[in-house]
Structure 1
Amino acid sequence: MCVHQPPCPAADGFDREAARTVADHPEQGWSLLCNGTVVFDDTGELLPDGRIVDPHRPTTPSAA
């Protein structure tokens, strides 16, 4: 899918969230990345092959 140079990370890579956003719908709570991954505001993801990645936001507050 990605035509950028250097290419964005693949949807099955650990760094898939680093891909460029191609469609952003904050009013609906999701964005489409150029690798075909849909990322949701709750940090969950839907991969192009239909697999679901559960939300993975931190559960403890970070130290300031």
Structure 2
Amino acid sequence: MCAHTPQCPTADSPDREAAQVVAAHPEQGWSLLCNALVIFEDTGELLPDNQVVAPHRPLAAATV
């Protein structure tokens, strides 16, 4: 699907979020990547096979 050089990572690779954005909708909180991955502003993902990846933001640093 990717026509970029170098080719974007596939949707099942660990670095899948590094693919290029082909459609951005920040007003709705999501973007479509070249590898057919939909990423959401809350860091959740929708894979091309309709699997959902829960948001995975890093935890905030603990305050003492």
Q: Deviations over 1:32-58 (max 9, x none)?
A: 000000000000000001111100001
> Which protein shows a greater Rg?
2
Who is 2:18 aligned against?
Answer: 18
- Report SS of the residue matched to 1:17: helix
Distance (whole Å) between structure 2 residues aligned to residue 18 and residue 45 of structure 1: 13
Runs (4+) off by over 6 Å: none
Unpaired runs of at least 5, structure 2: none
Counterpart in the other structure of 1:56: 56
Identity score, percent: 66
Write out per-residue CA displacement over residues 11-64 of structure 1, whole angstroms, 9 at most, x where no aligned residue: 0000000000000000000000000000000000000011111000011239xx
TM-score, normalization by structure 1: 0.92
Report the Cα distance in structure 1 between the residues aligned to 2:39 and 2:5, rounded to whole angstroms.
Answer: 22
Distance 2:43 2:61 in 1: 16
Distance in structure 2 (CA, Å) of the matches to 1:26 and 1:6? 26
The residue type paired with residue 41 of structure 1 is E
- Count, aligned residues: 62
Partner-residue secondary structure (3-state), 2:22: strand
Aligned with 2:17: secondary structure? helix
TM-score, with normalisation over the residues of structure 2?
Answer: 0.92
